[in-house]
Amino acid sequence: MDAREVFRMSWRSIRGHKLRSSLTTLGVIIGVAAVIALATLGASVQASIIGDVGGEEAQQIYVWTGPEGEQGAPGAGAQPVFSERDITRIEGIDTVESVIPRGSVPTSGLRYGNDTVARSDVVAITPGYFDGAEFESGSAFSSGANEVVLNTAAATQFDENVSVGDSIAILRANGSGVNATVVGILNGSESQGPFEGFASQPRVYTPTDPFYETSVSIDGENRRVYPLLTVVATDPDAVEPARDEMLRYLEADSDAASLMPTEYDFSARTNEELLQQVQDLLNTLTGFVTGIAVISLVVGSIGIANIMLVSVTERTKEIGIMKAVGAQRRDVIQLFLVEAVMLGLLGALLGTPLGVGAAYLVAGYIDVSLTFPLEWFAIAIAVGVLVGVVAGLYPAWSAARTDPIDALRYE
């Protein structure tokens, strides 16, 4: 029996039981779609958080304080201890190009016109933070000015979208308000560094002066102190020397060392180290949820095996006739195995675009750009074939062992 005849007979059998074949294939479709959707979403979220490591971002060192021995998220539980004197001293290190302090401005909300919202983060930063940033419109603010930069999520959260040149009021936690002019709106996908999280979170950036007011008394004078620093090295090769020299200063002769709680320590990590941690976490999470989705494929393979066993029973007389006219065992095995593989392959081919569609909808909902892990598409097709082979082996072998005399007498 040639291959073309085997495919023709297998396809005829599948078409002859359309409803049964459809329900059998549905298990594989759901399994493959779930695997593709979760793998694609995992890759998309990973790409959104990690991005490309290169340019000035490869030269950045993120500095904060935290409990000794803990490897928490960047900035988690950080205390405001880095003074402006510390910043000046760190900037004086030969391998350091600049230092960007960062602090949170306590607010009760934002007001634009007659509309007030209460869910925006207000972050005090210096203009150097925006070096290399992509603006949808406008540009960075100037130090000492009542100016702000908004990300797209913050600019679009009011009843009317905020534009460059508009004025918004920042309502402080004590009830007072400060009017500020919007001078820039960041690109919708912009998310600067690991302290930001997703770009979809509404965020307003202000100059440290005059908006940031957190200070402590040091040597009889009030000095602003910040919980987070971004240290930019002069070039990628200078990152390690800059970090080592900075940590030596911080641990020995800094205001931060005297202000930091005794059970805390300094954390200074490079962009690549942070990205690797995030990548490892996301890979573990993606692998876990994808493993759960694989259970659907196991259920689908059981469905194929079950339906093929039913098909062997239904076609017992047909098998007897085939053997009576000269069909060999390998011909019968081939016939039923090809039918099972076709069901598995059909499920994979239909499940792949379904999974991509589901990933597209979810990615749009959580506002991340879709990234396709192409290797998973090949894996999906291979899995569909493998499911068919594994599920069809026993039914095919069982059909091949059927005695032709008993089969011809079967009613």
Q: Is the pLDDT of residue 332 over 80?
A: no
Q: How far apart (Å, rounded) are the C-alpha atoms in residues 282 and 273? A: 14
Query: Which ranges of 51-184 does DSSP label H, i.e. alpha helix?
Result: 84-91, 152-155
243 Cβ neighbours under 8 A, 6+ residues apart: 61, 231, 268, 270
Check residue 167 and give its pLDDT: 94
Looking at the DSSP bridge assignments, the partners of residue 317 are none
CB 206 within 8 A of CB 168: no
Peptide bond preceding 67: is omega within 30 degrees of 0, i.e. cis?
A: no
Mean pLDDT of the chain: 80
Contacting residues for 256 by C-beta, under 8 A, at least 6 apart: 65, 81, 82, 83, 86, 250, 266
**36 — pLDDT class (breaks 50, 70, 90):** confident
Strand ranges inside 3-131, DSSP E = 60-67, 82-83, 96-104, 107-112, 115-117, 121-125
Is a pLDDT exceeding 90 seen at residue 148?
yes
CA dihedral 32, 35, 36, 39 (to 10 degrees): -170
Q: Which two tokens stand for residue 49?
A: 């958080």
Taken in order 37, 39, 42, 47, the sign of the CA dihedral is: negative
> What pTM was estimated for this model as a whole?
0.59
For residue 117, pLDDT beyond 50: yes
pLDDT tens per residue, range 217-250: 888 888 899 999 999 988 878 888 999 999 999 9
Give the pLDDT mean for 315-325. 70
Question: Residue 86: what pLDDT?
Answer: 94
C-alpha to C-alpha distance for 73 and 66, rounded to whole angstroms? 10
CA distance 369 to 360: 9
